[in-house]
Amino acid sequence: MSVAGIALDASSRSPIVLLRDPSRSRQVPIWIDQAQAHNIMAGLNDTPQPRPLSHDLMAALLEAGGLQLERVIIHAIEDSTFRAVLRLCERGHDSETSRTDELEAAVDDDDNLLEVDARPSDAIALAIRTGSRIWMLEEVVAEASIAVDAEADAEDRDEFRRFLDGISPAALGRHLKSRQPGDPRDAQGDTQDP
């Protein structure tokens, strides 16, 4: 999985981290709080902080302890809550193995691996900072994902840009002022000037 970005829930105004599957056809939304969204965004943007954030500190502690985050595994949804583990190994342990070796390692109880329970948001923020992979079990993806239509999204974005390019700020202001609250055109998405 990869982090597609942070969005806001339209009804609750809560942040959501969006994870996208490798085929880029499904996305899994995970609701988080503002602080978690800030930590994830700081990692995505590689924003320098005056003092280390919690996840920067976690990454530094792993390094100081001779450990590395091999991967994050989001493995279950229980009572509408996602469950994740951090899969840690000794630094220098060859984590770049073939696909077959990875599958065998996931099944075997390897003495060099340690799993630590974590909130998905913390796990994601740490994975971003360490460049580690984010895995999600297929059952979780199947239960929680929404379909993504990248072509439709790109067409909508292009259409909106053409609309903005073709309207002056004054015309847009007049258009918005002419609408009354509860205007039925708002529900239909009508963006044409009256």
As a whole number, mean pLDDT of residues 63-89 equals 94
Give the residue from 144, 142, 139, 155 showing the smallest Cα distance to 17: 144
Same domain, 86 and 155: no
Same domain, 137 and 162: no
| 38 within some domain | yes
| 125 within some domain | yes
The Cβ-side half-sphere exposure at 141, using a 13 Å CA radius, reads: 19
Q: Which residue has the higher pLDDT, 129 or 194?
A: 129
Same domain, 7 and 77: yes
Same domain, 13 and 99: yes
Say how many domains are in the chain.
2
Query: Domain holding 85: CATH number?
Result: 3.10.690.10
Instruction: Flag whether pLDDT at 41 surpasses 60.
Output: yes
- The pTM score is 0.67
**Ramachandran region of residue 161, left (φ > 0), alpha (ψ -120 to 50) or beta?**
alpha
| 194 within some domain | no
DSSP H or E segment with residue 102: helix 99-107
| 134 within some domain | yes
End-to-end CA distance of the chain: 44
Same domain, 26 and 113: yes
Q: Which two tokens stand for residue 7?
A: 């969005």
pLDDT of residue 23: 84
Please return the burial class of 156, using the count of CB atoms within 10 Å of its CB with bins 0-12, 13-18 and 19+.
exposed
Identity of the highest mean pLDDT range in 112-116, 146-150, 171-175: 112-116
Q: Which domain holds residue 160?
A: 150-188
